Structure 1
Amino acid sequence: MLKSIFWPVLAPAFLYACGTGALTPVIVLAALSLGAHQAVAGAIVTAAAVAAGVAAIPAGYVINSLGERRSMIGATAVAAALTAVSVFALVTHNGSSLPIFIVAVVLVGSIEVVWSLARQALIAETVERESMALAMTSLGGAARAGQLVGPLIGSVLLLKLPLYSVFIMHIFLALAATVLIAFGPADPPKRKPVGSGRANRKLQVRWSAVFLAGFAIMTLSMARQGKNVIIPLWGDHLHLTASSISLMVALGSAVELILIYPGGRLKDSLGRVSTFVACVTLLGIGFAILPIGGTIAFFIIGVAVASVGNGLGAGINMTFGADLSPSVGRAKFLGYWNALGQVGSLLGPGLISVLIAVASLPVAVLSLAAAPLVGGIWMAGFRHRIGLPGRRRVIIPAPDAVADESQSQ
């Protein structure tokens, strides 16, 4: 199964994620170099996330009209062009460079949604249900591997080259991904849609199940995005150096990568809900350990526990989307589903900022720990109404049946 999607999906996803992973740490630094205030530089990342959320639903309609492969080619080409505009702004460095840079970066965030949804839709259309979780988890793993490798390459470039060299690296990797999609092996054959005709022109979706599952996914998105904020802040709270905090983040990412394949198997064998509950429970416990322990040792343990949970749940958002999606109009539906996840991604860092301002960092961390735990309880309580694939049952034939079959041969 993984062989059929490696070249059309996983390899381009890795290349593109290398570029975006390298770009993420330097966007704020590039904005500061153009004269942006710290608040403005930080707001650029938030604005890009908002643009991605707004673009999710229109992106689904674009993919549904153009098809997955053409949408992926177009998205990577446009993203490369917009990144080139960012390079132009950084090189010219005049009075209009900062607004040009901001617009280009925000638009790249919205364009990347097309790329992301097209990959999910292609897997959902081609992979059999019994292997869906492993395929989606592998997609998430390819992206995470790229996000780990990309910054390492970018850090090497920045030892000798200016900031815009990382943006140029992103352009080349985006174009390489485009070439691989356009001229690589053909997409695997799609499964035949269930039903046809006029009735299927509208999305045939169990919306009650979508909203119930969507709330749980929002809590997971809150925890995941909040994790990226909590770990640096708590490390600074413990007076750790930036290098030590970066090492903790890297080690956590390594743990997540190791658990991606086992996590995919668990989703297919034990069921979606059981894996989701394990994921969010470990995330919540990992966050809670930080303020309860309050030492460097507990910081390491907390990050490790949260990383185990996050690794086991890699790709679970995309898997839920594929499970709940209709056989006709799948890309449209995934646009709506992605928008739900984006809401959670914005709420996590926002909740942390508000609670730090009105209370304290420990209160913010404990509140963030509660969010995934609530999501796990919610999902477990509504599992039958949501109706996601459960534990895979293995049917063992009775001894008499085996004997009869052997005699007949």
Structure 2
Amino acid sequence: MTIDERPRDVLRGLVMPVYLPTVAGTFGLALLVPVLPLYLTDAGLSLRVTSIVLASVGAGATLGGLPAGAAIARFGERRIMFVALGALAITAALLGVTDAAIALVALRLGTGMANIALRLSRQTYITRQVGPLVRGRAMSTLGGAFRMSLFVGPLLGGVLADTFGFTTTFAVAGAVTAVGVIAPLLSPDVIDEPPPVGSAPARPPIGLAATIRTHRRLLAMVAIVPMLTMAVREGRYVVVPLIGDDLGLSPTAVGALVTVGTTADLLLFPVAGFVMDRFGRLAAMIPSFGLMTIGLVILGAADTTTGAVVAGATMGIGNGLSSGTLLTLGSDLAPDEGPGPFLAAIAVIQDSGKIIGPLVVGFVGSAAGLGAASFVLAGLMVVVILWLVFVLGETSRRSTA
């Protein structure tokens, strides 16, 4: 029996080596989302220095993506996972013992590098171990693990900081992350099976530079999808609160508007995985990206609170249905001899969209208004849809072949 014939067993087998470590690492980060800015302000750091410290995580992820891929290719994703979890735990706990700006920036850079290494190690593991007929569900559940932590973590972090103070909260974040190493230690690679009889032997792994050089045309072709999709997702997080503020919504109402999308993200990831595996990757991506486009158009034209709520709900449903789609897309196209470096290259390109999205909103919004910025984001999403249909096509068939 092949691994594709046992989807429930496969997902169950991924709980210990993949999902629990991911939840632990992401939850530790999520605890600090509302806490760290308050800690920096309380320490007397200026707004400019605070923003630099907070942005250092993204910079660390961008800088650490390719080295993480190279390390995975050389040492294996399991070892890198343990190193990443240890680094996340240490950097989180140490935040509470210093208020020196240089030290804080260094710690957050390390956090970003460790976080991308953890994500890539788990994505590479699924790519190697799970066949294409179950991969969509495996990847969407991985995306759901990220979303679950980010849904609960910030609220609990705020409660801990109010009750026990900043230092204790940082220590708890580090301890929670460190607990993530227990599950994979207790359950080694439980779904690691030998290749079927008669299958071709796996090619030896190749390094980062060789992988990028060999597959540079494929990387260039696929890059547009994760980059622009992430730009739209991040731009949405900027334009929704700003348009809500323009409509006169209170901060609580704006927060509720954002939460609508977050809740949909959390609830719909199983649907995304099922659709990808049953009907193909495009069957999940095109409708979900289409709903995000429609939501952005509604938001851009909204002049009432009702319009903003409808737009937020539509975008939230669309984004929830896209859970794990970018992870699955990269895994479908990743070469057998170098999945880690290939996925790392895509991750770096994808994370560049986190910079593009807010810049689009800022520049277009300043020049032509926030409604126009929302329309531009919708246009970027249309480009993604057209690129998927006419350039990339259905990637699950390539993976199966």
- Judged with a 3 Å threshold, the aligned counterparts in structure 2 of structure 1 residues 240 and 185 are, in CA distance, closer, same or farther, namely same
Question: Do residues 203 (structure 1) and 206 (structure 2) align?
Answer: no
Q: Say whether the 8 Å CA contact 1:31–1:98 is kept in structure 2.
A: no
Task: For residues 237-296 of structure 1, give each alpha carbon's deviation from its aligned partner in whole angstroms, at most 9, with x where no partner exists.
Answer: 222222222222223211122211011111112211232222222112111211212211
Match of 2:126 in 1: 123
The question of whether the paired residues in 1 share the 8 Å contact of 2:84 and 2:115 is answered with yes
Displacement of 1:187 in angstroms is 4.0
CA distance in 2, matches of 1:185, 1:326: 24
Aligned: 1:219 with 2:222: no
Q: Give the match for residue 382 of structure 1.
A: 391
> CA 1:189 to 1:86, structure 2 compared with 1: closer, same or farther past 3 Å?
same
When normalised by structure 1's length, the TM-score is: 0.88
Match of 1:270 among 261, 279, 291: 279
Q: Please identify the structure whose Cα radius of gyration is greater.
A: 1
Question: Is residue 189 of structure 1 aligned with residue 192 of structure 2?
Answer: yes
- Stretch deviating more after TM superposition (29-38 or 369-378): 29-38
Change (3 A) 1:36 1:354: farther
Alpha-carbon distance between aligned partners in 2 of 1:118 and 1:195, rounded to the nearest angstrom: 23
The one-letter amino acid of 1:321's match is G
Map 1:2-401; keep pairs closer than 5 Å: 2-89=11-98, 93=99, 97-189=100-192, 192=195, 194-196=200-202, 202-203=210-211, 206-384=215-393, 388-389=395-396
Q: Distance in 1 between matches of 2:200 and 2:140?
A: 25
- Counterpart CA distance in 2 for 1:41 and 1:278 is 39
C-alpha separation in 2, matches of 1:2 and 1:159? 37
> Once the 2 structures are TM-superposed, how far is the Cα of residue 44 of structure 1 from its aligned partner?
3.0
CA contact (8 A) 1:126 1:191 kept: no
Contact 1:73 1:182 in 2 (8 A): no
Amino acid across the alignment from 2:211:
L
Unaligned runs of 5+ in 1: 394-409
Provide the rounded CA distance (Å) in 2 between the counterparts of 1:180 and 1:77.
14
| Residues 206, 324 of structure 1: 8 Å contact kept | no
The one-letter code matched in structure 2 to 1:307 is G
TM-aligned CA distance change 1:191 to 1:216, over 3 Å: farther
Return the offset for 1:391. Answer: 12
Rounded to whole Å, the distance in 2 between the matches of 1:314 and 1:188 is: 23
| Cα RMSD, aligned residues only | 2.4
Once the two structures are TM-superposed, the CA of residue 336 in structure 1 deviates from its matched residue by 0.7
TM-superposed deviation, 1:214: 1.7
The residue number in structure 2 matching 1:404 is: none
**CA deviation vs aligned residue, 1:10-59 (integer Å, no higher than 9, x gap):** 12212222211121233322222222222332233333212211210110
Q: Deviations over 1:40-84 (max 9, x none)?
A: 322333332122112101100111122111111111111211222
Amino acid at match of 2:239: I
Single out whichever of 252-261 and 207-216 deviates more from structure 2.
207-216
Count of residue pairs the alignment pairs up: 385
Contact 1:25–1:151 (CA under 8 A) maintained in structure 2: yes
List alignment gaps of at least 5 residues for structure 2.
Answer: 1-9
Task: Give how far 1:318 is off.
Answer: 0.8
> CA shift at 1:310, angstroms?
0.5
- Cα 1:196–1:254 change in 2 (3 A) is closer
Q: Residue 320 and residue 218 in structure 1: after superposition, are their counterparts in 2 closer, same or farther (change >3 A)?
A: same
In the alignment, the residues of structure 2 paired with residue 111 and residue 287 of structure 1 have an alpha-carbon distance, to the nearest angstrom, of 33
Rounded to whole Å, the distance in 2 between the matches of 1:137 and 1:281 is 18
With normalisation by structure 2, the TM-score equals 0.89
Deviates more, 1:244-253 or 1:310-319: 244-253
